[in-house]
Structures are given as C-alpha cells and as structure tokens.
Amino acid sequence: MKSINIKSIIAFALFVVAIGFTSCKSGNKTETKETTKVEETHSETIEVSEEQMKAVGIELGTIEMKNLNSVVKSSGKLEVPPQNKADVNSLVSGIIKKILVLEGNYVRQGQTVAILENTDIVKLQQDYLMLKKEFVYSEQEYQRQKELNTKSAGTGKVFQQAASKYETDKARLKGIETQLQQLNISPASVANGNFVNQIPITAPISGVIGHIPIKTGSYIDMQTSLMDIVDNSQVHCDLQVYEKDLFKVKNGQTVEFILSNQNNKQITGTIYGINQSFENENKSVIVHAKINNTGGIKLLPGMYVSALINVGNQTVQAVPVDAVVSAEGKQYIFMVVDEESEGKEKAEKKEAGEKSEKNTEAKAEKHIQFKKIEVTTGVTELGYIEITPLEEIPKGARIATKGAFYVLSKTSGGKEEEE
C-alpha cells in the first residue's frame, strides 16, 4: 500500500511538470509571433529624416525609360578635324628673336606669335627695289615702241623685244611681291626704301597654343615646327565598331558617351560618317560622331570614351545602379510613400503653454518614409540598370536614386534592435 502511494505521488509530479513546460512553450511561441509581427510592421516603411538624407547623400528621382537593349557597344577617343589642327612654320630659315605667346594661350588667325630674323630677306627686298625701278623703264620703253609701231615708224623686231622685256619684268616683279607678302613684308614699304631684317610669324588658324619646342635664339628652318595650334570648337568622337556590328550602324543614329577619366560624365552625339575601310587586324571601322550636348564639360582631343550607339527603339524601365540594393539574394529599390513635416517638439511646447522666445521658433524636422520594393534586374549600361518591379508602382513615383544602401541599413538596424 505504501509502495502504491509513492508511485502515485511521482506520477502526479511528472504530470504537473509536463503541464508547466507546455504552458511555457506555448507562451514563448506567442511572444515570438508578437515580436515577428512587430518586426514585419517595422519593415513595411523606413523613415529617414531630411538631416540624415543630407548627411549621407541620399538623392531622389524617378524610374526612367532608357534604351539599353538595342545598342552597339564601342569605344574610342575625342578628335578634331584635320583643318582644326595646325603647325606653325616659317617660310624661310632664321633665328628666333622673340616668342610672343605661351602654351595654353588663345590666338586669332593672323596674330603674330614669334619674330624671326634673317639677313637673306634684305637681299630679297633689294632685288625687289631694283626690279621695281627697272620695270618702270621697261614699261616706258614698251609704250614708246608700241606707239611707234602703230604709226609704222619703228621696226617690228624692236617692238617685240620691248614687249618681251616688259612682260618678263612684270612677271618677275609680281613674283617677288608675292614672296614679300608671304613673309608679311609690305611691298609698298620696300618700294619706299624701308627695309626690314625681321619678319613676323603668324598663326595660320584660330585656336589654343599647344607645345612650343623652340626658345629665343633657336635656329629654325622651313621643316621645323615652332608650335602647334588646336581649335577645339569642332571636337568629335572617333569610335571603333567591329565587323559583326557594322551592318547595324547608320548615319543619323544617336550615341551616348561616357568619359572614362571624367567621373563617367555622360554626353550625347549623332553619327555623321562611317569609314569604308578597316583600320587594323581587329577588323574595326572608324565611325565618326559629332557632339550634340557637352553638358558643360570641357572636351579635349585624346580623351577616351565608352559609347552606346542606339540602333533600335526598344526602351525599358531603368534606374541608376546606385538605386538597386541586394539583400538575402534579392534586389530592391526604395520608393517614397509619405513625406511629412513632424513638429512634435513644437506641438508639445504649444500644449504646455511655453512662451519662451527661444523655443517658439523651433522648426519641424522633415521626415520621408520609404517602402522597400522587390525588383528583378536586367542589362546594365552607362550607369543605368534595367528593372522590373514585382509589384505595381504609381506612375511618377519617387525613389532613392542614390544612398539606397543607407536606407537598407536602416531596415537591418531596426531588426537588430527588435531582436
């Protein structure tokens, strides 16, 4: 009998313990469900203050329509037409006496950039002056013989000799005048006996002075380049298009350029010319594109670019690559769902009846609420990525185009705090 009572007591104790464990487990489940519910509610919207947005550089924009699929990829560099580049040379050899410009200076066509000295030009001026006076006599003799020949008072042979010498001297005089003009020496000044031994070297085109390899006292000849000038007003882009894509490219198609070494600045252009021969063993053809919109960027010949030639009309929804974030194997964007100005501190002070001058002007802090939208992504080009939202987004809805990782961190931080 005593043994039976002990067994009954043990069984009853085990029953009580089992009921308590079950109740505790059930309570934990309920608490976990409630916590999960709080976390899910917290993750529906993410609130960021205006001050935080400025601090971390969050920017807002909209989903854009971009032509990312029907394009031909190419690369190249900026160039100027050959008529917009020039070397400055002298038509005679001599010693450089003065250099009147510096590298980087802008010059106009015909502006003097250097002074050259050459004693041989003195002889040229002397020959011109002597021939000028001789030509006066030849012209007078020709007119005299012409008049005699008209009256049959002279011989035809003498008239022919006078006419021949007149035409010869005239041609020689014209030739020397042309040489003097090419050297920027005034024939009229020389005819008055004003000789010079220095001549100005002028700019053949308007533009910016490039490299100047000479210095004062340098001896130069007609093959020596004194300096080079570049006119960047007609900068265009030379792109390399490979044989497999050549049939897609046509004049008039638009091009989007990315300047590789200029923080990926984007400019636009239009194809205006396609070479008809291959450039090298890679089977590429040079395609020329004019620049339509520089976007205020200073373009220089030699800058390298990456480009997309739009060869079709298919457009897709796209956002900047910084607008898409990855989490747990999925991609998301953050859409603005509510913007409100919360003046909690000001409202509280109003209810409390505080009339302090320092507190009455308290400013409300602006908050923006974001909603996490899952998307699928496609092709990425020129800093944009194709997206397909997995839920409907209102037309014109604003999204975080920059700083989305910070908004994502706010959701992660919230969960960690809840846990």
Distance CA 411, CA 301 (A): 48
Closest CA to 98 of 200, 211, 242: 200
Asked which of 282-291, 322-331, 334-343, 371-380 is least confident by mean pLDDT, the reply is: 334-343
Asked which of 224-233, 252-261, 341-350 is least confident by mean pLDDT, the reply is: 341-350
* Residue 362 confidence (pLDDT) above 70: no
Mean of all residue pLDDT scores within the chain: 80
Between 278 and 313, name the one with better pLDDT. 278
Distance CA 142, CA 208 (A): 52
**Alpha carbon of residue 55 to chain centroid:** 28
Distance CA 377, CA 386 (A): 5
pLDDT at 85: 92
pLDDT at 229: 95
| Residue 275, CA atoms < 13 Å, CB-side half-sphere | 16
**Alpha carbon of residue 378 to chain centroid:** 26
Whole-model pTM: value is: 0.54
Distance CA 373, CA 187 (A): 82
Distance CA 68, CA 90 (A): 52
H helices of 64-155, in order, are: 120-150
pLDDT at 21: 46
Res. 368 pLDDT band, cuts 50 70 90: confident
pLDDT at 225: 92
- As a whole number, mean pLDDT of residues 375-388 equals 86
* Residue 108 confidence (pLDDT) above 70: yes
pLDDT at 416: 39
Is 385 exposed, middle or buried, given 0-12, 13-18 or 19+ CB atoms closer than 10 A? buried
H helices of 151-263, in order, are: 156-182, 187-191, 243-246
* Residue 176 confidence (pLDDT) above 80: yes
Q: What percent of the chain has pLDDT over 90?
A: 28
Closest CA to 274 of 289, 291, 293, 290: 289
- Tokens representing 364 are 């409300």
| Residue in the block written with tokens 């802090």 | 365
Distance CA 400, CA 392 (A): 17
Asked which of 11-25, 57-71, 296-310 is least confident by mean pLDDT, the reply is: 11-25
pLDDT at 219: 93
Distance CA 108, CA 85 (A): 13
- Straight-line distance from the first to the last Cα atom of the chain, in angstroms, rounded to the nearest whole number: 54
Between 207 and 18, name the one with better pLDDT. 207
Q: What are 74-88's pLDDT values in tens digits?
A: 999 999 998 999 999
| Residue in the block written with tokens 């005089």 | 173
* Residue 311 confidence (pLDDT) above 80: yes
Residue 390 phi, psi dihedral angles, 5° rounding: -90, 5
Asked which of 59-73, 113-127, 173-187, 329-343 is least confident by mean pLDDT, the reply is: 329-343
- Is the distance from CB of 303 to CB of 235 less than 8 angstroms? no
Q: What are 109-164's pLDDT values in tens digits?
A: 999 999 999 888 888 888 888 888 888 888 888 888 888 877 666 567 788 888 88
Res. 190 pLDDT band, cuts 50 70 90: confident
Distance CA 94, CA 216 (A): 12
Concatenating the DSSP letter of every residue in 133-155 gives HHHHHHHHHHHHHHHHHHTT-S-
pLDDT at 344: 44
Helix or strand (DSSP H, E) at 410? helix 404-418
Distance CA 128, CA 393 (A): 86
- Length of the chain as a residue count: 419
| Residue in the block written with tokens 């897609």 | 248
Which residue type occupies 290? K
pLDDT at 341: 41
- Is the distance from CB of 250 to CB of 236 less than 8 angstroms? no
Between 356 and 39, name the one with better pLDDT. 356
